Amino acid sequence: MALVQTGVVVLDCADPEELAEFYRQFLEAEDIEVSIDRVDIRAADGIRVAFRRDATATPPSWPRPEDSQQAHLEFLVDDLDAAERAVIGLGGRSVSAGEMPGPNEERVCADPAGHSFVLRHAKPRP
């Protein structure tokens, strides 16, 4: 029997209901659990993300060079342009300027609360 059943990424934010709705729509999540200071979502593929209320939460200031990124989420997508448009349409923003060259094509975005995440082009499965 495994010691750890699963992991959950938890983002602190001032308004967990609002931020959870952004990610619920982006991830097309159906499973939502709401408590007083936390909202958990689970997408169809099993990814789990939670949002914890922190009245003093401030957005990370990355990509300023003097600040670290601390942590970020990464989402594998088939179509970078479509995923980036979805993020912007849901109230997020693009942080990277256009396509970044290299073998791992990716785009950096931020959610409405300022948490950064990466859209990475998914490699075809064998």
pLDDT tens per residue, range 39-52:
999 988 888 899 98
Verify that 43 and 98 share a domain, yes or no: no
The pLDDT of 13-31, averaged and rounded, is 93
Q: Are 117 and 71 contained in the same domain? A: yes
Instruction: Determine, yes or no, domain membership for 3.
Output: no
Mean pLDDT confidence for 22-29: 94
Instruction: Examine residue 24 and state whether it is found in any structural domain, yes or no.
Output: yes
Domain coverage including residue 37: 8-55
Give the residue, 34 or 98, on which the prediction is more confident. Answer: 34
CATH number, domain at 32? 3.30.720.120
Q: Do 93 and 49 sit in the same domain of this protein?
A: no
pLDDT for res 21: 96
Q: Is residue 110 part of a domain?
A: yes
* The total number of structural domains that make up the chain: 2
DSSP string, the chain: --S-----EEEEES-HHHHHHHHHHHHT--EEEEETTEEEEE-TT--EEEEEE-TT-----TTSTTS-----EEEEES-HHHHHHHHHHTT-EE-S-SPPPSSS-EEEEE-TTS-EEEEEEPPPP-
Residues 80-102: tens digit of each pLDDT = 889 999 999 999 999 876 555 55
In a domain, residue 80? The reply is yes
Instruction: State pTM to two decimals.
Output: 0.72
Are 11 and 51 in contact by the 8 Å Cβ rule? The answer is yes
Residues 43 and 81 occupy one common structural domain: no
